[in-house]
A and B are shown apart, each in its own frame.
Chain A
Amino acid sequence: MRIRSILKKLLVSPELEEQVNNIRKPVGVYGYDPWGYNIDTCMICLSLFKNIYEKYFRVETHGLENVPAQGRVLVIANHSGQLPIDGVLIGYAIATRKDGPRAGRAMAERFFPTVPFIGNLINQVGGVIGDPVNCIKMLENEELVIVFPEGVRGSGKLFKKRYQLQRFGNGFMHIAMTCRTPIIPVGVVGCEETMPSLADIKPLAKLLGIPYVPVTTPIPLPAKVSLHFGKPMMFEGDIDNEESVTEKVRQVKTEIRRLIDIGLSNRKGVFYG
């Protein structure tokens, strides 16, 4: 607690503090919500990440205004880059935008809570394990939830499969329809090149109990990242059968594919531009 106060004083600028304080997020008297989100840790991490976002990955955003300033919303994006950098970048973009900043809640892989320090840190900056109950409760709380329906199939894929969307799970669509929640599709371009994986050491991953062990660079490369936020997509009505849900998921996937293609055609180079 004391370390956090010192770090906050040292790192958090008054502008950022004001910006984060504008986020309408109910927390308890110690600044936490039931999932462990903490407003001070969030400010510190945003401060630490500022240069990485602006100078290292030089993130460009398009269509950020499509994200509603309030109310429940699901942000659905393509997943890549071995580490969940894409989730952090999307969350940073939404939390620091001038009009209507919001605290994005990212659905994290299920093994994170078992890792000392990392599990708590992810919770404090807004991440929670990817459990449908968490997602539904957060949406009922009128929160913004970031979901990667490809899961580890997307983040752990090899470089040769870059920008090939993997199978999308149907879970997010069930939740969107049940909770009457708009979907904001996002096409992420650049994260594929941050940690290009040449191979996956599956036996080692199995031994360590983690989804994959990539043969890749020791640190993420400074690829230029662009985030393309699409228009809200609303899927209403009762769920007739799983095939109809799959069809709706396909529509979201097609839109994300379109946003990625826009990003790829607009970019001048992987590391510059």
Chain B
Amino acid sequence: MTIDPIRLALPSKGHLYDGIVEILKTAGYKVRRASDRQYEAVISGHPRFHVVFMRPTDIVAQVNEGRCHLGVTGYDVFAERAAEADQARVVTQDLGYGGCRLVVAVPESWIDVTHAMDLVDLAAEFKDAGKTFRVSTKYPHLTQDFFLRRGIHHYQVIDSDGALELHPSLGIADVIVDLTSSGTTLKDNRLREIEGGTVLESASCLIGHAPALRAMVDEGEAGPLALLLDAMDGVRASEGWLHLEVVGSPAEPAPRTAEAVATYLTEQGAQHVARGQVWDAEGGDAWRVTALVLAKRLTACQRTLFRLGARRVVGLPTRFVFDRDGESTFDRIGREVV
């Protein structure tokens, strides 16, 4: 059965929306949306894809039900609903943006609580004192699983969508389990993380409806799923890297100078380093070294490259990087769903 249209659910706004639209655009899948208030869109040049916009939590439900075939949401949102979403599969767990952590945070004045094991002891102390240890969170399932794995079960989950950071100071809860990226909001509210208190590492992720994935995998390497996932793999692999070209004429014999440049670049963390002999405009001997280097490292390297004999250093933005030995998301999903 061929799926047409392939319905792709994206977050309707915010950083999860911005990030995926940028990735898709770089991959050659420009999302054409008439306005921020329109909840449907098309992708230029890829008529089989039909984009719909909704809330991240709804995306998990709709992909699980099969109304949408692919979806982008936060991994935290998916993981919280994973037990119910048995028809949804994670295609790419980390799309490279929207990173954050789900953590246990305690009042900063609790200097006796430094480690997750303290919660075990503390929950027992609360019980002995005839009190219930309270935990506020928007993620009750992940929280229960975290506590269960540490043998804590005398506590009460306060399932709340509000500003959790206020709960300890208002006495609503004793600790909270919430998302953080820099920790600034926790600190501003006189809370802090504890060692071993990370419940989940999260980022934006791509999920798919399992039967739909099977059908799309059946369309093979030239099918729309393979093309989309390969393009996204290529984009993600290229992120942060520059294609470097270093050329020079030999003050010394060309192979030795090129070798010194290649060795230096490898020491600086460059990848896919290659070198060879070339001829300049006058037909004189010259050499060229190409490599992938992290963009942030290039400016620190160029003076050394000149000292080693380079005449020109060019850093070109990369858009796709495909490595024969790199993991293909399409191949992996093919193995998982078949």
Q: Do A and B associate with each other?
A: no
